[in-house]
Amino acid sequence: MSVRSRVELLRQIPLFSDAADAHLQLLAFAMDRITVPVGKHLIVEGEQRQTAFIIAKGSARIDFPGDDDPAQMVGPGACIGELSMLADLPYSFSAVAVSELDCLQLTRDLFYRVAEEFPDFAEITLEAITRRVDTTSRDLQNVARLFKQARSFSNLAQS
């Protein structure tokens, strides 16, 4: 995979969509490529590896512990584990290769080296993270509002 195609892949990710080409080229050049065979874990819930993965080829099943919802499928252009990488947190989900995966690894050290060297890159990615947190916060507030408006289960028995 060429550096140019890696940059195009990074550009699809909201965290990097507004970053300068030069910064993405640095990341693209320095990121390692890995292949994950079918059925093998890319990410194991609870592990703390300080690495995000960008899927270039293939698909993975995302499983959240204790979640009754069907697993989520992700494919080329997906970035998974970025919050764990950025915040140095354990992964909150598992990811298993459904087909052979071709991925780029973005380590915390590499990301922070580029961010320290290029403050404008740090500012742009921080803005992207802030937008994501704001959206998540609004979604949670809407869910809380819906719960408050819902009738209680004890009232349903009386109806």
Q: Structural domain tally of the chain?
A: 1
Residue 125 lies in a domain: yes
Widest Cα–Cα separation across the chain: 66
SS3 111: helix
Residue 136 lies in a domain: yes
Residue 116 lies in a domain: yes
- pLDDT at residue 159, rounded to an integer: 52
Residue 59 lies in a domain: yes
Residue 108 lies in a domain: yes
- pLDDT at residue 81, rounded to an integer: 92
For the entire predicted model, the pTM comes to 0.80
Residue 155 lies in a domain: no
Q: Note whether 90 and 46 are within 8 A (CB).
A: yes
Q: Give the Cα separation of 88 and 109 in Å (integer).
A: 11
- pLDDT at residue 27, rounded to an integer: 94
Parallel, antiparallel or unpaired: strands 51-57 and 79-80: antiparallel
Segments forming the whole domain that contains residue 13: 3-142
Q: Which residues in 89-143 belong to E strands, given as ranges?
A: 94-97, 101-107
- pLDDT at residue 61, rounded to an integer: 95
- pLDDT at residue 157, rounded to an integer: 56
Residue 153 lies in a domain: no
- pLDDT at residue 136, rounded to an integer: 67
- Centroid of chain to Cα 49: 14
| Alpha helix (H) residue ranges in 66-118 | 82-87, 108-117
- pLDDT at residue 129, rounded to an integer: 79
The residue with tokens 């408006």 is 149
- pLDDT at residue 158, rounded to an integer: 58
Rg (Cα) of the chain, in Å, rounded? 19
- pLDDT at residue 151, rounded to an integer: 67
- pLDDT at residue 70, rounded to an integer: 73
Q: What pLDDT tens digit does each residue of the chain (159 aa) get?
A: 899 999 999 999 988 999 999 999 999 999 999 999 999 999 999 999 999 999 999 999 999 887 677 789 999 999 999 888 988 889 999 999 999 999 999 999 999 999 999 999 999 888 887 777 767 677 677 777 777 777 666 555 555
Q: What is the CATH number of the domain that holds 135?
A: 2.60.120.10
SS3 153: helix
Residue 158 lies in a domain: no
